[in-house]
A and B are shown apart, each in its own frame.
Chain A
Amino acid sequence: MSRVLNYSLVAIAALLMASSASAHHSHAMFDTDKQVTLVGTVKEFEWNNPHCWIQVLVPDPKDPKAPPVEWGVEMGAPMQLIRHGWKPGSLKPGDKITVVINPLRDGRPAGQIVSAIGPDGKPIGAVPETKSK
């Protein structure tokens, strides 16, 4: 028996230091192979540790009369978001927003943020290249 356990490259990166910058919890509940685009209205923007969240009301385009579905979008910690250009006042209830997320594996309406476009049509948060190297 080999003394060195077999492993996959995917597992290496995921397990080396935790794939979350906050190291607050596992992110295995999010399906990083999938992306879902949410177009809706901000219900709430929670700016607090250990994670910020955006609650978005998303109408069903096929049935505009149906009540919108509330999605939860998990983000990083406030100081991490500040580094990306987010601010506590970046969003307010009623703002139109488009958010791309990795959805939860279990199908409930939530996921982790990939990118966001604000009410002015511009991306919120800096692209990674603008960070310090």
Chain B
Amino acid sequence: MIRRTIAIAALLLAGCLYFSQAQSFSNSKARAEAFAKLPDWSGLWEFDIWTDELDGQQMGPEGMSRAKVYAAEMQATFTPAWQAKLEQLKKKADAAKATDASDPPAFEEFGQFGGCGWTPGFPATMLPGTYEWRVTPEEATLISLLGSVRHIYTDGRPHPSKDELWPMSQGDSIGHWEGDTLVVDTVSIRSPVYFPGLARGVGVPFIPMSNELHSVERIRMVNHDQMQIQFTVEDPIALAKPVHVTFNWHRVKDINRMEQNADDCDDAASDRNPIVNGRYRTIVKPPPATPTGPTGR
């Protein structure tokens, strides 16, 4: 009786294994076919304002001239009520800057910008640093040097229902392919957003927007060395009309790997630009070295 039970169990187990493998094989074949239809966006990419950046510290002249073009394209017209709100913000920012130009304000109250470990939310995810795409049939994932990971689901799912959404740094992005173009729809983006071109005169990197902020991007590889991201940003409460801007990314050829820009942030001594009382401080002289462990950290 026991032998018979064991034999039946073994048969059932073998059957389960066989069918799960067969199912897996079938899925692999379907996925391979789906993969074959996707564009190859492998490699490293960066926003073209950094083409001639200077030793990792400042934009070069070419980048500056491109930045001015983008800035003009991004200029938004706000609703009168929102414009008044921005004017108030500008007064506050001007006052903060006038207090001490040597220690620039970090504008923490507007959404902290920078500092060790800062990762950009949307749409900043599409702006500074080096990027890498992972394109699969189910989602396109954008990984940035600054540590942000943006998930764009392309498996046909809709946005979650409103009662399951809350303002998130990357928002909620779903996408679909129109040929080689990835069309991305993003909602539920946390305010303020790091999209300074929208309201340049305000003088802060983060701009408050309403919960109705909605973005549509059309992303495609124009040629082997260039990607294009067409943004349409609308916000019926904050913006009098939608903003359209097209960013260009170029392929990075002089390095072939990514790292995390913030990966030494667990070592306080490596952050020599701490934010103190809402202002960036510069540590001129590093603190004395502390004994390190076997890993050197």
Q: Which of A19, A72, A84 touches B283 (beta carbons < 8 Å)?
A: A72
Number of interface residues of B (CB under 8 A): 84
Contact B254 A104 (CB under 8 A): no
Q: Residue A16 contacts which of B77, B197, B250 (CB distance < 8 angstroms)?
A: B197
Bound form: Cα–Cα A16–B262 in Å: 22
B31-81 at interface with A (beta carbon < 8 Å): 47, 49-60, 64, 67-68, 70-72, 74-75, 77-78, 80
List chain B residues, Cβ under 8 A from A50.
Answer: 116, 261-262, 264-265, 270-271, 273
Query: B240 near A49 (CB under 8 angstroms)?
Result: no
Tell me the complex Cα distance, A49–B115, Å: 12
Partner of B67, one of A1, A16, A79: A16
Are B260 and A49 neighbours in the complex by a CB distance under 8 Å?
Answer: yes
The stretch that binds B, out of A22-30, A34-42, A58-66, is: A22-30
B230-242 near A? 1/0 per residue, CB < 8 Å:
0000000000100
Give CA–CA (A115, B259) in the complex, Å.
24
Residues of B within 8 A of A24 (CB): 114-116, 118, 261, 273
Given contacts A16-B49, A19-B59, A125-B55, contact A25 B273 (CB under 8 A): yes
Tell me which residues across on chain B come within 8 A of A28, comparing CB atoms. Answer: 97, 101, 104
Q: Which of A23, A48, A82 contacts B118 (CB 8 A)?
A: A23
Q: Are B282 and A108 in contact (CB under 8 A)?
A: yes
Given known pairs A22-B56, A125-B55, the reply for A16 and B280 (CB within 8 Å) is: no
Considering the complex, give the chain A residue whose CB is closest to the CB of B64.
Answer: A13
A80 engages B55 (CB within 8 Å)? yes
Determine the main DSSP class of A at the interface with B. loop
Q: Is the CB of A49 within 8 A of B262?
A: yes
Which residues of A (67-120) have their CB < 8 Å from a CB of B? 70-72, 74-84, 86, 104-106, 108-110, 112-115
Q: In the complex, what's the smallest C-beta–C-beta distance from B267 to chain A, in angstroms?
A: 7
Pair A72/B90 contact, Cβ less than 8 Å: no
Contact residues of B between 71 and 113, Cβ < 8 Å to A:
71-72, 74-75, 77-78, 80, 83, 86-87, 90, 97, 101-106, 113
Interface centre among B55, B64, B200 (most CB of A within 10 A): B55
Residues in chain A near residue B243, CB distance under 8 A? none
Task: Return chain B residues, CB-CB under 8 Å to A81.
Answer: 55-56
Instruction: Collect the chain B residues with CB atoms within 8 Å of residue A80's CB.
Output: 53, 55-56
- Residues in A with CB closer than 8 Å to B53 are 21, 76, 80, 128
Contact A83 B254 (CB under 8 A): yes
B137 at the interface (CB under 8 A from A): no
Q: Are A72 and B200 in contact (CB under 8 A)?
A: no
Q: Are A108 and B250 in contact, with the CB atoms below 8 A?
A: no
Q: Which B residues fall within an 8 A CB radius of A?
A: 47, 49-60, 64, 67-68, 70-72, 74-75, 77-78, 80, 83, 86-87, 90, 97, 101-106, 113-116, 118, 120, 124, 127-130, 145-146, 196-197, 199-203, 205, 240, 250-255, 257-265, 267, 270-273, 275, 280, 282-286
Given contacts A46-B286, A110-B282, 18 further A-B contacts (CB under 8 A): A5-B202, A16-B68, A16-B197, A21-B128, A22-B128, A23-B114, A24-B115, A24-B273, A32-B58, A49-B260, A49-B265, A53-B272, A75-B57, A79-B145, A81-B56, A86-B55, A108-B284, A112-B58
Complex A-B: 12 CB contacts under 8 Å: A1-B83, A18-B205, A22-B128, A23-B128, A25-B113, A26-B113, A29-B103, A29-B282, A49-B260, A50-B271, A80-B56, A131-B51
